[in-house]
Amino acid sequence: MSMINYASKEINCKLVYYGPGLGGKTTNLEHVFAKVAPDQRGKMVSLATETERTLFFDFLPVDLGTVKGFKTRFHLYTVPGQVYYNASRKLILKGVDGVVFVADSQIERMEANVEAMQNLYDNMGQYGYDLTKVPFLIQYNKRDLPNAAPIKDLQAQLNPGWPVEEAAKQKQVPDPAHAGEFLVTQVDGAWVERAPYLEACAVTGEGVFETLKAVAKLVLKTLG
Amino acid sequence: MSGAGTWSIAEDDHRKITGHLEALLKESQAHAALVVDRTGQLLANAGDKLTFDPTTFASLTAADFSANDQLAKMIGEPEFASLFHQGEKESMYLADVARRVILVVLFDQRTTVGLVRLKVKQTVSDLGKLFGEMFGRPAGPDKPAKLLEGAEDEIDKLFG
């Protein structure tokens, strides 16, 4: 739930990085932490096990600049990816303003991706949030690996789209990040909308800031 | 509901919250108090200058409370309305306010948990009323849901 504080002139928003275990959620935050100037970010907190697997969440607050005189503060959270941590994973989604699904591009992780995506829909639904209406972006991570699945296959499995019922929204919307692709289009005569996606290699930082900026922009535009 | 929504805190609300916190500190002899929302955002604080990162503290407070809520449910309680963490020198008392925000009181040996708990009850009631009004407003002061209307260009410029 974004909170506008008129006393401190701040807009506070909560972003959650979701996805299967070992997919690179924490690595995304670590890269942001390493690259953002210390005066524009807080400490990074990781509630992790001794083997550095996320137990509860990682947390990193960052300032992304000023809009209309208000400082935009984004609280970045990751969730634990492993299936059996669902109780704590669900807690982190409370009050979320924007979601990044960090998918592991490796072919052998396809099933884990699909399971995590289903789990995201379920957990959002339990709070009464509709993932098709909340700012939502998919990051296909680990694109540098030789066993990375083609984007087309990942899109078909993880981002097949949802039906667009509203007549006013039934028009082609080009995907600004991918020439020749559409966020809203007709498939076999039916209008569908897909979540925007980006490719990344979080270990080297490629695509990390692009992802953060894209989702932050979507969130701020919901306030307009 | 499609998403988590937006709410705002006006300068006047902020002043009132701080006023309640200051009154609590005076009566309980605790040294700092904070109000944090359930999503982990710091709304206001009063008392001694904080020696830690308040943003991180707020996010951990909300997580602590959320985790304990689930533990309560597992043992058949609807919630734990308050939590007490006792340290060697510093202790903290956390209380739920109308299921919306969390009041955190930090105190040391200059007072007792009994006194803090007693005084917190009144503050929880006062803050409960105040937040009830604030959340009851459909769009807060100045229609915050539209705060960034017309700022598309500025947002595009900021994020490229």
pLDDT at B150: 72
Q: Distance between CA A11 and CA A71 in Å, rounded?
A: 6
Non-local (6+) Cβ contacts of B139 within 8 A are B145, B146
Set of chain A residues whose Cβ sits within 8 Å of the Cβ of B51: none
Poorest-confidence range of A166-170, A192-196, B90-94?
A166-170
Phi then psi for residue A142, to 5 deg, are: 60, 40
State the pLDDT confidence band at B139, using cuts at 50, 70 and 90. Answer: low
Chain length of chain A:
224
Q: Look at B138 and A18; give whichever has higher pLDDT.
A: A18
DSSP readout, A110-179? HHHHHHHHHHHHHHHHHTT--TTTS-EEEEEE-TTSTTBPPHHHHHHHH---EE---GGG-S-EE-TTST
Of residues B149 and B138, more confidently modeled: B149
Question: Residue B79: pLDDT above 60?
Answer: yes
Contact B9 A11 (CB under 8 A): no
Average pLDDT over residues B85-104: 95
Kindly state the percentage of chain A with pLDDT values over 70: 100
**Amino acid B160: pLDDT:** 64
pLDDT, chain A, mean = 94
* pLDDT top residue among B138 and A76: A76
pLDDT surpassing 50 at residue B102:
yes
pLDDT at A210: 95
- Looking at chain B, the whole-number percentage of residues with pLDDT higher than 90 is 70
SS (H, E, C) B55-120: HHHHHHHHHHHHHHHHHHHHCCCCCCCEEEECCCCCEEEEEEECCCEEEEEEECCCCCHHHHHHHH
Residue B138 has pLDDT above 90, yes or no: no
Backbone angles phi, psi at B54, to 5 degrees: -65, -30
Residue A119 scores a pLDDT above 90: yes
**Which pLDDT value is given to residue B142?**
46
Residue B139, min C-alpha distance to chain A (Å): 11
Q: Which of A94, A213, A224 sits opposite B38 (nearest CB)?
A: A94
Task: Tell me if B37 and A65 make a contact (CB, 8 A cut-off).
Answer: no
Interatomic CA distance for residues B85 and A142, integer angstroms = 42
Write out chain A residues lying below 8 Å of B160, CB-based: 213
Say yes or no for a CB contact (<8 Å) between B147 and A11.
yes
pLDDT at A97 over 90: yes
Chain B window 93-122: which residues touch A at a Cβ cutoff of 8 Å? none
Distance CA A154, CA A114 (A): 9
The distance of A65 to chain B (nearest Cα, Å) reads 7
Query: What is the pLDDT, as a whole number, of residue B63?
Result: 92
- C-alpha distance from residue B11 to each of A51, A121, A128, B55, B118 (Å): 45, 37, 30, 19, 29
Closest Cβ opposite residue A224 in set B1, B11, B146: B146
- Least confident range from A42-46, A88-92, B4-8: namely B4-8
CB contact under 8 A, A6 and B14: yes
Residue A217 phi, psi (nearest 5): -65, -45
Give the one of A4, A129, A217 whose C-beta lies nearest to B6's C-beta.
A4
Can you tell me the distance from the alpha carbon of B77 to that of B82, in angstroms, rounded to the nearest whole number? 13
User: How much is the pLDDT for A207?
Assistant: 97
Kindly state whether B41 is in contact with chain A, defined as any CB-CB distance less than 8 angstroms: yes
Is the CB of B8 inside 8 Å of chain A's CB atoms?
A: yes
**Cβ-count burial A145-169 (b if 16+ within 10 Å, e if not):** eeebbebeebbeebbebeebeeeee
With CA atoms as reference, report the closest residue to A60 among A86, A25, A91: A25
Please state, rounded to an integer, the average pLDDT across all residues of chain B. Answer: 89
Pick from B2, B13, B158: CB nearest A129: B2
pLDDT band at residue B141 using 50, 70 and 90 as cut-offs: very low
The tokens for A93 are 């989604």
pTM for this entry = 0.90
**Contact between chains at B149 and A224 (C-beta distance less than 8 A):** yes
Q: Write the DSSP string, A192-205.
A: EE---EEE-BTTTT
Best probe of the B interface among A47, A209, A220, by most B CBs < 10 A, is A220
- B37-68 tens-digit pLDDT: 998 999 999 999 999 999 999 999 999 999 99
Which residues neighbour B103 within 8 Å (Cβ) at sequence distance 6 or greater?
Answer: B33, B34, B35, B94, B95, B96, B97, B120, B123, B124, B127
Residue B45 to residue B18: CA distance in whole angstroms: 7
Q: Is pLDDT of B30 > 90?
A: yes
Determine what percent of chain A falls in helix, strand and coil, rounding each to the nearest 5. Answer: 30, 35, 35
Partner residue opposite A223 with nearest CB, options B6, B11, B40: B6
Q: Does B72 touch chain A (CB under 8 A)?
A: no
Helix (H) or strand (E) holding B20, with range, is helix B11-28
